[in-house]
Amino acid sequence: MEDLELNELYEEALKAIDEVDSIEKVNEVRNDYLSKKSKFMGLMSKMKELSIEGKKVFGEAINKAKDEITRKLEEKRAMLEKRMLDEKLKREEIDVTLPGINYDAGGKNPFYIIQDEMIDIFLGMGYEIAEGPEVELDHFNFELLNIPKDHPARDMQDTFYIDDNTLMRTHTSPVQARVMQEKQGKPIKIICPGKVYRRDDDDATHSHQFGQIEGLVVDKNITLSNLKATLELFIKKMYGEKREIRLRSSYFPFTEPSVEVDVSCDCGGKGTCSKCKGTGWIEILGGGMVHPNVLSMSGYDPKEYQGFAFGVGIERVAMLRYGVDDIRRFYQNDVRFLNQFKRK
């Protein structure tokens, strides 16, 4: 009698396991058939009516049935878990053979490549970097550089005025005066890189905004030969050991004597080279010995101190180095131009 009931219950359990299709159901079926209040426990209670021998046989049969149900439930659970994992993997599958999204890395504008190179060369010679404002006072941009009001040299450097006394600086030279006032009597060895502004018509060699690097050395016993040696070293580092420089006398209100510096052309000065127009020399920068008035106006005794200074256009150096034909290319953000300077 009990055997029959056990068999029925066992079959019923197997059927229930068969129909299970989720982990929750596995737990439900386990509860129904194997927990303390389960149907099998109900059968156990009937054991007390059996003989000792009968108890033994029936007990073993129940345990066997329960073991079997436990095993089948675990099998089912493992199968369901595997199925869930397979589905999840399928859902999250990525196709590694699909082409990726190409994020193009940017590069440095050649203006900054050259500016950084120039700065490196001067840092290597022991210069420090100084900076000044781009919106500058007339006082620093002109007056302290020995260019009083109505001086004709102002005509060459017309600019954008904020008011009568404030303007967009026309060169980096005002930083000279600012640093001299700050260092009061102490030796100076600085470069000042930065943007400058002019009311120029934009063409292949002019722009209303461009970059300059100013150099200033003030100390005792500074001579023109120090300037020459410094610029020669700069040019050789920038353009190669074979390059020579040439100093021509010139005029700037803030230097005396003043020089225009030319670099030898790589064509050797023959024929109809467009870079040097056949002369063999290319004008690259201006410089000179700091004018005694400039020294004394900013607190240095010109009898005790001398200085040399120079100013060089960054785009000009870059154009010569890379053979760029038009200054505007630095500002137009044309990737066909810019990509040529990308570091591989």
**Residues in touch with ligand DAH (CB under 6 A):** 171, 173, 214, 252, 255, 286-288, 309-311
Phi then psi dihedrals of residue 7, to 5 deg: -60, -45
Asked whether 133 and 195 are in contact (CB, 8 A), the reply is: no
Residue 270 CB, nearest distance to ligand DAH (Å)? 30
Which residue, 30 or 291, is less far from ligand DAH as judged by CB? Answer: 291
CA distance 28 to 91: 28
Residue 130 CB, nearest distance to ligand DAH (Å)? 13
Q: Tell me the CA distances in angstroms from 219 to 81, 134, 309, one per residue in order.
A: 84, 27, 12
CA distance 83 to 235: 73
Asked whether 102 and 131 are in contact (CB, 8 A), the reply is: no
Q: Coil, helix or strand for 311?
A: strand
- Residue, CB closest to ligand DAH: 311
Hey, what are 276's tokens? 């040097």
DSSP bridge pairs for 135? 168
Which residue, 115 or 255, is less far from ligand DAH as judged by CB? Answer: 255
Which residue, 310 or 330, is less far from ligand DAH as judged by CB? Answer: 310
Which residue, 20 or 217, is less far from ligand DAH as judged by CB? Answer: 217
Residue 287 CB, nearest distance to ligand DAH (Å)? 4
Q: Coil, helix or strand for 3?
A: helix
Residue 254 CB, nearest distance to ligand DAH (Å)? 6
Which residue, 9 or 179, is less far from ligand DAH as judged by CB? Answer: 179
Asked whether 311 and 213 are in contact (CB, 8 A), the reply is: yes
Residue 215 CB, nearest distance to ligand DAH (Å)? 7
Which residue, 193 or 286, is less far from ligand DAH as judged by CB? Answer: 286
Q: How many residues does the chain have?
A: 344
Residue 344 CB, nearest distance to ligand DAH (Å)? 36
**Residue 264, H or E segment:** strand 255-264
Residue 309 CB, nearest distance to ligand DAH (Å)? 3
Which residue, 211 or 287, is less far from ligand DAH as judged by CB? Answer: 287
Amino acid letter at 245? I
**Residue 228, H or E segment:** helix 224-239
